[in-house]
A and B are shown apart, each in its own frame.
Chain A
Amino acid sequence: MSVQPATSSLPLTRRTRFGEIGLRGICGAAVVILVVVIAMLIWEVAHGAWLSFSTFGLGFITSTDWNVVTNQFGALYLLEGTLLTSVFALIIAVPTAIAIGLFLSELAPRVLRTPVGLMVELLAAIPSVILGLWGIVVLGPFVATEVEPWLNQHLGFIPLFSGYPSNAGVLPACLILTIMMIPIIASISRELFNSVPSELKQGALALGATRWEVMRQIAIPQVSGGLIAAVMLGFARAIGEAIAVAQVIGSHNASPFGSIFKPAATMASWIATQFNGTATDLQRSSLYYLAVILLVISLVTNIAAQLIVNRFRKRIGGRA
């Protein structure tokens, strides 16, 4: 203290301490605002749904009405539409996406991995409204003239696949959701398969296993937890997709289980098509109620996926 000139050291420490606290403070404030925004989001949506919730209670979920004249609103058909389209999309997307993940991590020649992986990711980059436009003009008519007559002819004994073909309906919505889900699950599963220690794979190969046996018996079981999380993230994406579904599904409050050729609606697509033309406060509040249900499902799915991933990371980290 006596050696250093006090004039230069004191302001400097004060200034640096100020900078230290300042930067930390600004960054911390950004985090606080992030948390506040999420709290506001939850509060705002719940607040908007309150009128509908106090009128219909939980019976909203089991009621099928959506009648502006009698002011009766219920979400059952929309819930069915959301679940049917998402599950249908999962059934096609999960095996396809995992196969793509395996191809990109185990099979593809090294020069092809980056470009093919990039193309799969670009599929996720196409705006959903453009996918929906393509769905209306190209996919819908194709499904109506080619796919649905074929399904009706061969699987028509199942009610789901019977009825007259139509351009707008549940089936094109399922296919659009499949297209959206595949890149999400594929790129996560590629990362997962890449994380499997190569000693394990090579050990199995050395023992005479074929490449497929390595994938099925080593790679997939190693990362099964992560794969489940990837599937859940894809599912969360599908139930929340509003625009592309609204464009192709025909927007009709009807049960999708009658026939997947007919128009129906999902909760998200129903909000998109109804929100700007609400006639009564109760109707708008019921749309908020749908948003609450969507929010709850997506938050629960995401948290569960996150927990699985974290546990999985720890396991992998512990081994390595």
Chain B
Amino acid sequence: MSSVVTSPFGSPSRRSRRRKMVGRMMEALCTLAALAAMAVLILVVYAVFRRGASALNLNLVTEVPSTDAYGNTTGGIKNSIIGTVIITGIATLIAVPFGILIAIFNAEFASRRTADAIRLVLNLLAGVPTIVVGVFIFGLLVVGHGYSAYAAAVALSIVMVPIIARSTEEVLALVPAQLREGGMALGATRARTVVTIILPTAVGGMVTATILAIARAAGETAPILLTCSIFANQVTLDPRQAMGSLPMTIYLDAEQPSQYAQHQAWAAALILMAFVLVAAIAGRLLSLRSRRRIEQTR
């Protein structure tokens, strides 16, 4: 029988046993690679949780940093938590309208060639190293004005715009053509169709795009390092002044020899990572759900 069956992959014999073995081995290696990636994630998350949880206490989040009589760091990181919220908040306020308007232009108004060109530009902007974005905003807003929260926010918004624009455009493209045509058939103009039919259908997708962009921006350090890295040890609400931020606190404290500064760094890392991971997971699950929902309306 074995001589009759001719497989293009060789005769089923010792050769086929070897092929099966090689196949099993490679499948095992692929599985191993996935396990390794998950293991690294678990290792990092575990290290941050273990060290961060032992460092985290109520004083840390309710007090600002201070220096005791011996020059040691004490106190908490309240100013950095509030600073990160403000900086990321302003960045979001800038980036969301821009990102969504660019996406609408691409999906609804641009010719195919223009849309391709804009998509290329967005991808290029997303590919610019974040440290270069920091250098750019340093030259644009920091020179002559000094460090400020709004300079950091502008730098972060440059990181956020391509993320929001690209994923919003994807969601807009998922809106069924019937809805669009229905609007037109009722005599609505293109703008009216966009505002009253397409945007409400796609709003879930835009919210998840924003969440994912915030998750990315909240942890960005390089743009803030060059725009807002020297700040007072107190809570500031004025965006024209420099403020502390969680990424900056982690970066600066990690380099200090003091045990307490190390504690602060891990506690800040825990708070930041918990926020970023929750936002990233929520964003991804929501995007799966809203995609499914839009597809159901087809």
Q: Do A and B bind each other?
A: yes
Please encode chain A, from 116 to 159, with 1 for each CB lying within 8 Å of some chain B CB and 0 for all others: 10111111011111111110111000000000000000000000
Per the bound structure, the CA–CA distance linking A262 and B85 in Å amounts to 38
**Do A120 and B222 touch (CB < 8 A)?**
no
Which residue of the partner chain B has the closest CB to A47? B139
Task: Tell me which of B23, B121, B277 contacts A210 (CB under 8 A).
Answer: B23
Per the bound structure, the CA–CA distance linking A95 and B32 in Å amounts to 12
Most chain A beta-carbon neighbours within 10 Å: one of B192, B225, B284:
B225
Most chain B beta-carbon neighbours within 10 Å: one of A116, A133, A137:
A133
A103: chain B residues at CB < 8 Å are 30-31, 33-34
**Do A298 and B101 touch (CB < 8 A)?**
no
A213 at interface (Cβ–Cβ under 8 A)?
Answer: yes
A174: chain B residues at CB < 8 Å are none
**Do B132 and A291 touch (CB < 8 A)?**
yes
A221 at interface (Cβ–Cβ under 8 A)?
Answer: no
B221 at interface (Cβ–Cβ under 8 A)?
Answer: yes
Q: A48-B139, A100-B37 are in contact. Are A129 and B132 (CB under 8 A)?
A: no
Per the bound structure, the CA–CA distance linking A295 and B135 in Å amounts to 11
**Do B222 and A31 touch (CB < 8 A)?**
no
Q: A130-B272, A208-B7, A303-B120 are in contact. Are A239 and B23 (CB under 8 A)?
A: no
Which residue of the partner chain A has the closest CB to B12? A208
Task: Tell me which of A47, A133, A209 contacts B266 (CB under 8 A).
Answer: A133
A271: chain B residues at CB < 8 Å are 131, 135
Please encode chain A, from 38 to 72, with 1 for each CB lying within 8 Å of some chain B CB and 0 for all others: 10110011011000000000000000000000000
**Do B38 and A38 touch (CB < 8 A)?**
no
A35 at interface (Cβ–Cβ under 8 A)?
Answer: yes
**Do A299 and B124 touch (CB < 8 A)?**
yes
A1 at interface (Cβ–Cβ under 8 A)?
Answer: no
A179 at interface (Cβ–Cβ under 8 A)?
Answer: yes
Count of A-B contacts judged by CB separation below 8 Å: 270
Which residue of the partner chain A has the closest CB to B98? A30
Smallest Cβ distance from A91 to chain B, in angstroms? 14
- The number of chain A residues touching the other chain, given as a range, is 35 or more
**Do B37 and A123 touch (CB < 8 A)?**
yes
Cβ < 8 Å to B, chain A residues 86-119? 95-97, 99-100, 102-104, 107-108, 114, 116, 118-119
**Do A27 and B277 touch (CB < 8 A)?**
no
B87 at interface (Cβ–Cβ under 8 A)?
Answer: no
Q: A30-B97, A186-B37, A213-B23 are in contact. Are A130 and B44 (CB under 8 A)?
A: yes
Smallest Cβ distance from A237 to chain B, in angstroms? 8
A96: chain B residues at CB < 8 Å are 33, 36-37
**Do B216 and A125 touch (CB < 8 A)?**
yes
Q: A212-B26, A271-B131 are in contact. Are A125 and B105 (CB under 8 A)?
A: no
Which residue of the partner chain A has the closest CB to B125? A38
A223 at interface (Cβ–Cβ under 8 A)?
Answer: no
B144 at interface (Cβ–Cβ under 8 A)?
Answer: no
Which residue of the partner chain B has the closest CB to A178? B40
Smallest Cβ distance from A271 to chain B, in angstroms? 5
A171 at interface (Cβ–Cβ under 8 A)?
Answer: no
**Do A272 and B284 touch (CB < 8 A)?**
no
Per the bound structure, the CA–CA distance linking A243 and B199 in Å amounts to 38
Task: Tell me which of A34, A288, A310 contacts B102 (CB under 8 A).
Answer: A34
Give 13 pairs: A residue, B residue, CB < 8 Å, sorted on A: A27-B101, A30-B105, A121-B280, A125-B276, A125-B277, A126-B273, A130-B250, A134-B47, A183-B37, A240-B127, A240-B129, A240-B131, A276-B229
Residues in chain A within 8 A of chain B (CB atoms): 16-17, 19-20, 22-24, 26-31, 33-35, 37-38, 40-41, 44-45, 47-48, 95-97, 99-100, 102-104, 107-108, 114, 116, 118-123, 125-134, 136-138, 179, 182-183, 186, 207-213, 215-216, 233, 236, 239-243, 247, 268, 271-272, 275-276, 287-288, 291, 294-295, 298-299, 301-303, 306, 310
3 nearest CB pairs, A to B: A127-B219, A240-B129, A27-B105
